[in-house]
Amino acid sequence: MKLTFTCVFFDELTLKELYDSMVLRQEIFVVEQNCAFLDADGKDQEAYHCFGYEAEGKLHAYTRLLDKGMAYPEYASIGRVVTSAASRGGGWGRALMEYSIAQLYEKFGQQPIKIGAQEYLKKFYGSLGFVQCGEGYLEDGIPHIPMLKD
C-alpha cells in the first residue's frame, strides 16, 4: 500500500476530507480506544489538516496542526495523530509524523513543537526527536505525557 500525503487549512477541506477525518478519528479514538469524549473541540476551524490517502481513496493517516497558542500558550502542536488499524506496522505512523513536522514548520515557521502523547508511544515519539517535558497525566482515562521537540 502506498499513501499520498496532503495538508490543507480547514476552509480548504473538501466535504470528503472532512467526513473521512471525522470517521477515522471516531473509529480509533472513540470506538477502538473505548473513550467517550468530545472530539469536535472547536480547534479544527483554525488548524491545518494532514491526510494520508491510498490510491483507492481510503484515508489511512491523519493529523491536525495547531499554531502557537492554540493548544499550548508557548508552542505549536501536532494533535489527533491517527492511523487506521489496517495500516499499522507499515511505517505509516512515522511517515505521517515526519510529513506533519515538515508541514508545521512550513506553515508556522521553525519552532519547538509540543504534543500530548499517549504514554505507550513515548519511544516512538522519542525516535522523532520528542522528549518528555513534564509529569504524566490522564486524559479521558488514557495515560498521556507532555513531549517537546526543540
Residue 124 located in a structural domain: no
Residue 28 located in a structural domain: yes
Mean pLDDT of 115-140: 95
Nearest C-alpha neighbor of 100 from the set 88, 87, 113, 89? 113
Q: Are the C-beta atoms of residues 77 and 98 closer than 8 Å to each other?
A: no
By residue range, what is the domain housing residue 67?
Answer: 3-109
Q: What angle do CA 44, 23, 38 make, to 5 degrees?
A: 50
3-state SS, residue 58: coil
Residue 114 located in a structural domain: no
Q: Is the pLDDT of residue 32 over 90?
A: no
Residue 118 located in a structural domain: no
Please give the mean pLDDT across all residues of the chain: 94
Give the per-residue pLDDT at 33: 80
Separation between Cα atoms, residue 134 and residue 147, nearest integer Å:
7
Q: Is the pLDDT of residue 142 over 90?
A: no
What residues are paired with 49 via a beta bridge? 8, 64
Residue 135 located in a structural domain: no
pLDDT band with cut points at 50, 70 and 90 for residue 39: confident
Give the per-residue pLDDT at 77: 98
Separation between Cα atoms, residue 97 and residue 79, nearest integer Å:
10
Q: Are the C-beta atoms of residues 51 and 36 closer than 8 Å to each other?
A: no
| CATH number for position 65 | 3.40.630.30
Residue 36 located in a structural domain: yes
Q: Is the pLDDT of residue 120 over 90?
A: yes
The better pLDDT of the pair 83, 39 is held by: 83
Q: Which amino acid is at 40?
A: A
Q: Total structural domains in the chain?
A: 1
Give the per-residue pLDDT at 38: 76
Where residue 136 falls (left for φ over 0; alpha for ψ -120 to 50; beta otherwise) is beta
Give the per-residue pLDDT at 139: 87
Q: Is the pLDDT of residue 31 over 90?
A: no
Separation between Cα atoms, residue 94 and residue 91, nearest integer Å:
5
Mean pLDDT of 49-65: 96
User: Quick check: pTM over 0.95?
Assistant: no
